[in-house]
Chain A
């Protein structure tokens, strides 16, 4: 990368030490991050995928200056998240998923005004920006209602408005769609994508595959505190490229006819199983679409039924990457 990365982690480690027991204190150490290296370019929408407890939230908290790493360095916009927290806090925003973190008994507007002052935004700026944010996030008209009367989706959008108050260059979103209904989640994803398109760097954690696949420019998969894969959604999918499937049924076909299928590029296996009168053929391949177009040519004159195909999904890749740790 030629330009300075917006977010960078070098050998980032975090070990939590807790004490257990009342009379016999016992120290328990748990490694949440085991040496993470990461570079995210300005303007990138980066997704961090991983199961619960993999270290996603720990990473976000370190970048947002809420948590100190045990070793290694965390830089955001070239600022050290450990030592330069005051300068950094002005330039980043963060949103944690869930309904907490708002003053429920105050109105949405009061919440925003309060945090605008805590973010030390000049009044002239916040007077202009708060209505803009309310409008953009679809809260206009409800801003004077108490937050406790808001739906979950509205609360989450209010969270996002709060995170955008200081017009941050980098936005951290920790599982922002958790607990939202499908419509609310999709609205939020659209807004996040728009923010990235407008030039903001977005660091998003999630455990919804389709969410990462749908909006992220680049993703990393974290497992047990270590990055196990990194790249664009499609490059991650190539990790499981042999997991595309084409399946069809034939009646009374000579087995030799399948030889042509086996020789197609990208095909890793062809299996046949007898199913009453019919035979079910399953082809594992990298590019199901290509296999489909060749089917008619190779199996000319044979009647195919129930033809189906499935591209490898990010979820397949994720399950393969995470699976063996379970």
Chain B
């Protein structure tokens, strides 16, 4: 057990070190979030728009960056390992794949949280935008719940990426769709009813709703049920992940496709 924890910690450390020296990582936590925040802040602060909209600009870029890093870490991480020929090497060690990915994903989450810094700074200095009615306690809990959901999604999706490369392309192509459905930069309530239905089964949607509610005085503040919705959905993903990992273990050994480039 202790050796497994050490393996996860080592994977965490290596993923952090690789990220520190990769220009793409900076693109994902620093550059893209700020660019999205800029568009968001300009559009949401259009003269005549409701002032409460601006919080979506303040936090939206950060949320986008956080999500991108968190899940890209699973996807790109696996793709990189495949290209490097290390995917097969780590697969053949006595450490189960999920333990290694656990460490890597935690690295991604920590790095992803950084995205809130430049975006919030940009909002503050560029637009003097702040969070008017911040309920710090509930904000932090909501962020924690959101982190749990990102963690569970990343852990669930990554084995898919190991097995099916096209799954990663598809999710990459759909990335802005995820921003829409999870309500990163505007409320899900404005979407068509069917889209709201789809959004409802995505874990982050509810935590994001709680996060924004904790910065606004108006509107419903049904935190408990939102948090529970996210936690419940996340645990359901984890249950799916359990089966996926055994499937990956079997399928990968059946076809030997981990070595493919």
- Chain A residues in contact with chain B, CB under 8 A? 16, 58, 61, 64-68, 86, 89-90, 94, 96, 98, 100-106, 110, 113-115, 117-123, 162
Inter-chain contacts of A96 with B (CB < 8 A): 85, 88
> How would residues 89 to 128 of chain B score, 1 for a CB under 8 Å from any chain A CB and 0 otherwise?
1111111000010000000000000000000000000000
B30-38, B64-72, B219-227, B253-261: which lies at the interface: B253-261
Contact indicator B256/A61 (Cβ below 8 Å): yes
Which of A90, A118, A162 meets B7, CB within 8 Å? A118
Inter-chain contacts of A115 with B (CB < 8 A): 89, 93
Which of B86, B94, B100, B255 meets A90, CB within 8 Å? B94
Output the nearest chain B residue to A99 by Cβ-Cβ distance: B85
Contact indicator A101/B3 (Cβ below 8 Å): no
- Asked if B170 CB lies within 8 Å of chain A CBs, one says no
Q: How many residues of B contact A (CB 8 A)?
A: 32
- Chain B residues in contact with chain A, CB under 8 A? 3-4, 6-7, 9-11, 13-14, 17-18, 21-22, 84-86, 88-95, 100, 250, 253-256, 258-259
CA distance A66 to B2 in the complex (A): 25
Contact indicator A106/B17 (Cβ below 8 Å): yes
Inter-chain contacts of B253 with A (CB < 8 A): 65-68
Contact indicator B7/A120 (Cβ below 8 Å): yes
Contact indicator A118/B17 (Cβ below 8 Å): no
Which of B3, B9, B21, B256 meets A120, CB within 8 Å? B3
> How many whole Å from B103's CB to the nearest CB in chain A?
9
A-B contact sample (5 more), CB < 8 A, given A102-B86, A103-B86, A104-B84: A67-B256, A90-B94, A96-B85, A101-B89, A118-B94
Contact indicator A89/B94 (Cβ below 8 Å): yes
Contact indicator B85/A68 (Cβ below 8 Å): no
A-B contact pairs, 13 of them (CB 8 A): A90-B94, A94-B92, A98-B85, A101-B84, A101-B88, A103-B14, A105-B21, A105-B22, A110-B17, A114-B10, A118-B93, A120-B4, A162-B89
Inter-chain contacts of B100 with A (CB < 8 A): 118
Inter-chain contacts of B18 with A (CB < 8 A): 103, 105-106
Inter-chain contacts of A121 with B (CB < 8 A): 3
CA distance A67 to B3 in the complex (A): 25
Contact indicator B91/A66 (Cβ below 8 Å): yes
Inter-chain contacts of B254 with A (CB < 8 A): 67-68
Contact indicator B84/A118 (Cβ below 8 Å): no
Contact indicator B92/A110 (Cβ below 8 Å): no
Given that A103-B86, A104-B84, A106-B18 are contacting pairs, would A86 and B94 also be in contact in the complex, using a CB cutoff of 8 Å?
yes
Contact indicator B85/A89 (Cβ below 8 Å): no
CA distance A15 to B85 in the complex (A): 23
Q: Which of B13, B84, B89 has the most CB of A within 10 A?
A: B89
CA distance A105 to B19 in the complex (A): 10
CA distance A90 to B95 in the complex (A): 9
Contact indicator B84/A89 (Cβ below 8 Å): no
Inter-chain contacts of A122 with B (CB < 8 A): 3
CA distance A311 to B217 in the complex (A): 94
Contact indicator B84/A120 (Cβ below 8 Å): no
CA distance A158 to B195 in the complex (A): 52
Contact indicator A118/B90 (Cβ below 8 Å): yes
Which of A89, A104, A110, A113 meets B93, CB within 8 Å? A89
CA distance A90 to B14 in the complex (A): 21
CA distance A96 to B259 in the complex (A): 11
Given that A65-B253, A106-B14 are contacting pairs, would A120 and B95 also be in contact in the complex, using a CB cutoff of 8 Å?
yes
Output the nearest chain A residue to B8 by Cβ-Cβ distance: A117
Which of A58, A66, A98, A114 meets B92, CB within 8 Å? A66
Contact indicator B10/A118 (Cβ below 8 Å): yes
Contact indicator A119/B94 (Cβ below 8 Å): yes
CA distance A86 to B91 in the complex (A): 11
> How many whole Å from B156's CB to the nearest CB in chain A?
22
Inter-chain contacts of A58 with B (CB < 8 A): 256
> How many whole Å from B102's CB to the nearest CB in chain A?
13
> How many whole Å from A89's CB to the nearest CB in chain B?
4
Contact indicator A16/B255 (Cβ below 8 Å): yes
> How many whole Å from A234's CB to the nearest CB in chain B?
35
CA distance A67 to B93 in the complex (A): 14
> How many whole Å from A281's CB to the nearest CB in chain B?
54
Given that A100-B84, A101-B86, A103-B14 are contacting pairs, would A66 and B94 also be in contact in the complex, using a CB cutoff of 8 Å?
no
Given that A110-B17, A120-B94 are contacting pairs, would A66 and B3 also be in contact in the complex, using a CB cutoff of 8 Å?
no
Output the nearest chain A residue to B96 by Cβ-Cβ distance: A86
Which of A67, A98, A103, A120 meets B6, CB within 8 Å? A120
CA distance A96 to B94 in the complex (A): 18
Contact indicator B92/A89 (Cβ below 8 Å): yes
Output the nearest chain B residue to A87 by Cβ-Cβ distance: B94
Output the nearest chain A residue to B88 by Cβ-Cβ distance: A66
Given that A90-B94, A105-B21, A106-B14 are contacting pairs, would A117 and B6 also be in contact in the complex, using a CB cutoff of 8 Å?
yes
Inter-chain contacts of A102 with B (CB < 8 A): 84-86
